[in-house]
Chains A and B, each alone.
Chain A
Amino acid sequence: MNDTTHQSGDGPSHRTVEIGLAAFMALLGAITVAGSLQVGIGWGAEGPRSGFFPFYIGIAIILSSAVNMVHAFATKAAPRFAEWSQLRQVMAVVIPTTVYVFVLPYTGIYLASVVMIGVFMLWLGKYKLPLTAAVSLGVPLALYFMFEKWFLVPLPKGPIEDFLGL
């Protein structure tokens, strides 16, 4: 793809992302069609089979994505999607959050939250330790009382909570 030629090269072009997204959507459409075919798209004893409705939904996704892709290819001077520095900012949220959602079942939500808020404030916000500690401990503690005590909604807990007998 030569779409970076008319850009200064400071980030992915909007066009590339549009095309990629349209292709991804078409893939989702294809998956929907495949899944519908598995359960049957025709007319059964019970009327339209389970795959009947999603089959046409999948077809509509594929066709519309094709139109979107043609549109994306047709646009000439597309602006940048975002600058790399901006995307780095976005990844600075995505990566810690990804780690957070995957470790959360093992550590419990409270410990993971303390660490996440702490990392954010120290690393991205460049705050001093006392303030960081206050916020990163205070918020989960407040959430603990709000959910477990006030609204009686249990949240995932880990070894630390077990140790404390909560």
Chain B
Amino acid sequence: MEEIVNLFHGFAVVIQPFNLMVMVVGILLGVIIGVLPGLGGANGVAILLPLTFSMSPTSAIIMLSCIYWGALFGGAITSILFNIPGEPWSVATTFDGHPMAQQGKAGEALTAAFTSSFVGALFAVIVITLVAPLVARFALQFGPAEKFAVFFLAFCSFIGMGKEPPFKTIVSMMIGFALAAVGLDSVTGQLRLTFGFSEMLNGFDFLIAVIGLFGIGEILLTMEEGLSFKGRATGINPKIVWQTWKELPRYWMVSLRSCLIGCWMGISPAGATPASFMSYGIAKRISKRGHNFGKGEIEGVIAPETAAHAAGTAALLPMLSLGVPGSPTAAVLLGGLLIWGLQPGPLLFVEQKEFVWGLIASMYLGNLVGLIVVLTCVPLFAAILRIPFSIIAPVILVVCAIGAFTVHNSTFDVIMMLVFGIAGYALKKCNYPLAPMVLAIVLGDKAEEAFRQSLLGSQGSLGIFFSNGLVGSIMVLGLVALFWPMISDGFARLRTKSA
């Protein structure tokens, strides 16, 4: 019951005029970011993060999380109208969304996509409202060993559950940890890995890495592919919206299943992109009209969009309750918390009630506002997409450079951004996942601190990580996640043998 009261307090915070304005601005910026190639949720939020330094933390997180919702919505527009996924998680939406647009049903496809996104997000927010406080209360009892075990679990699931080769995931992640270690050691106060360069005293900021890896890297990839935009007419009007809405309740099973897949994948840090693919694949297998998938089936739009939004939203649950973000964008938001002077983790629910519940309330309202904004402004956003890339690209480069500079008012960071950008291009082309690297840069210091504090307590014995039931079971879960491909292989072999 206490949660409901807190939530209403949250709503009271959110409907202050300034916060409402910030919300609408955030959604609009987010959709633009989602629509433009080269700007995504994670680096869009990273670039705009410095703009929020002067705001109150609650307004700031409302703006940034709304940018994130907007980016999630925006990805669908480009997928359906232009067959170009603006975001990786909307790739699966192109499979049926674009064929629908080619058949002149762009309005239906967009309405279905936006509405599904909204449903998925709403479901995940309800899950967050109900579950996050419980998880946080539980996590309050965690000591350093348990904290490290949670980090261990998060990083292991990246290795075992990711679709990239596991050793590439490990390299990417460990590079992130190494970059996080550069500079001042937070435990002993000693300088390390700086090799005498004063520029490296403060280490590598993850915001610079995000802007470079995701922003500049993405532009380089787009340049290589030489995109030419050939869009479809939109033709979305209230009548089409209404007709589609009348049709949607029939697909409640698809929605519910996609919501569950999305929430699960979002909380375990698999993220929105695999969630959307998985949901699409399962819908195709189960649906009676599965054979028609890929030719413009509305279920093929509902399934990935619902799951992507549910996952994108659910990724905030571990960030809020445990301080472990479920996605790169959640990691950037977590970095924002640190900058605003808030300590992410379970204590947030005790010490920063207004902030947490303001954020949760803004998720409800932000997604509703987002739905209205995208439904009414589609032609405007489609027009933005028609601006040629040779104009968009330098503008995005300039915006990225400004974003990198404003983090620490340092021009050296702008150079680092370019280095990260070129690295991001090469890594992406060679199938190294970037998300684990970003998460490791953000969490590196915290994971290391937890690890060393645990060892201090145990006088150097690794046995501390298995010293009680709680920490032991989290560690075992982590190991299971780590070796999951082998374990599932073994099960499959056993089954074929017994059959």
Binding site for B on A (CB under 8 A): 14, 17-18, 21-22, 25, 28-29, 31-32, 35-36, 38-39, 43, 46-54, 57-58, 60-61, 64-65, 67-68, 71, 81-82, 86-87, 89-90, 92-94, 96-98, 100-102, 104-105, 109, 113, 116-117, 119-121, 124-125, 127, 135, 139-140, 143, 147, 151-156
Q: Decide if B490 is an interface residue (CB 8 Å cutoff).
A: no
Greatest chain B CB density within 10 A among A86, A92, A153 is at: A153
One digit per residue, 1 when the CB lies within 8 angstroms of any chain A CB and 0 when it does not, for chain B 448-470 equals 10011001100010000000000
| Complex contacts, B343 vs chain A, CB 8 Å | none
22 A–B pairs (Cβ distance < 8 Å), ordered by A:
A17-B426, A21-B430, A29-B174, A35-B194, A36-B193, A48-B460, A49-B188, A53-B181, A53-B448, A57-B174, A58-B174, A67-B167, A71-B167, A89-B224, A90-B220, A96-B394, A97-B397, A116-B398, A121-B390, A139-B395, A143-B402, A153-B53
Residues of B close to A68: CB separation below 8 A? 165, 167-168, 171
Scoring A14, A65, A89, A120 by chain B CB atoms within 10 A of each residue's CB, the highest score goes to A120
Inter-subunit contact B181/A93 (CB<8 Å): no
In the assembled complex, how far is the CB of residue B277 from the closest CB belonging to chain A, in whole angstroms? Answer: 22
**Distance, CA A25 to CA B176, complexed state (A):** 12
A92 CA to B226 CA, complexed, in Å: 12
Q: Chain A residues with Cβ under 8 A from B415's Cβ?
A: 101-102
A29, A31, A48, A139 pick with most chain B CB within 10 angstroms = A48
User: Which residues of the other chain, B, contact A21 by a CB distance below 8 angstroms?
Assistant: 426-427, 430, 432
| Chain B residue nearest to A106 in the complex (CB) | B411
Decide if B405 touches A50 in the complex (CB within 8 Å). no
Kindly report which residue of chain B lies nearest to residue A117, judged by CB atoms.
B394
Q: B178, A61: Cβ atoms under 8 Å?
A: yes
Give every chain B residue within 8 A of A147 (Cβ-Cβ).
Answer: 51, 402, 406
Q: Tell whether B190 is near chain A: CB-to-CB under 8 Å.
A: yes
B interface bracket (residues with beta carbon within 8 Å of A)? 35 or more
State whether A50 and B188 are in contact (beta carbons under 8 Å apart), knowing that A90-B220, A94-B220 are contacts in the complex: yes
B357 beta carbon closer than 8 Å to chain A: no
Given contacts A67-B167, A87-B224, A117-B394, contact A97 B216 (CB under 8 A): yes
Evaluate whether A81 and B429 lie within 8 angstroms (CB atoms) in the complex, with A47-B456, A94-B422, A143-B402 already known: yes
Residues of chain B within 8 A (CB-CB) of A58 are: 174, 178
Q: Is the CB of B175 within 8 A of A28?
A: yes
Determine the chain B residues whose CB is within 8 A of the CB of A156 once the complex forms.
405, 411
| Chain A residue contacts of B165, Cβ below 8 A | 68, 71
Interface string of B214-226 (1 = CB under 8 A from A): 0010011001111
Question: Interface on B for A, CB 8 Å cutoff?
Answer: 50-51, 53-54, 165, 167-168, 170-171, 174-175, 177-178, 181, 185, 187-188, 190-195, 216, 219-220, 223-226, 388, 390-391, 393-395, 397-399, 401-402, 405-406, 409, 411, 414-415, 417-418, 421-422, 425-427, 429-430, 432, 448, 451-452, 455-456, 460
Closest A residue, CB atoms, query B172: A25
Minimum CB–CB distance for A125 against chain B, Å: 3
Contact A120 B390 (CB under 8 A): yes
What is the interface of chain A mostly: helix, strand, loop, or mixed? helix
The residue in chain A whose Cβ has the minimal distance to the Cβ of B426 is A21
Given A32-B193, A38-B192, A71-B167, A117 contacting B398 (CB threshold 8 A)? yes
Could you tell me the distance between the alpha carbons of A140 and B395 in the complex, rounded to whole angstroms? 9
Contact (Cβ within 8 A) A35 B193: yes
Are B401 and A39 within 8 A (Cβ)? no
Is there contact, CB below 8 Å, between A18 and B417? no
Cα of A127 to Cα of B220 in the assembled complex, Å: 21
Q: Given the complex of chains A and B, what is the CA–CA distance between A122 and B181 in angstroms? A: 43
Alpha-carbon distance A51/B336, docked complex (angstroms): 28
A35 neighbours in B (Cβ, 8 Å): 192-195
Give the CA-CA distance A45 to B40 in the complex, in Å.
46
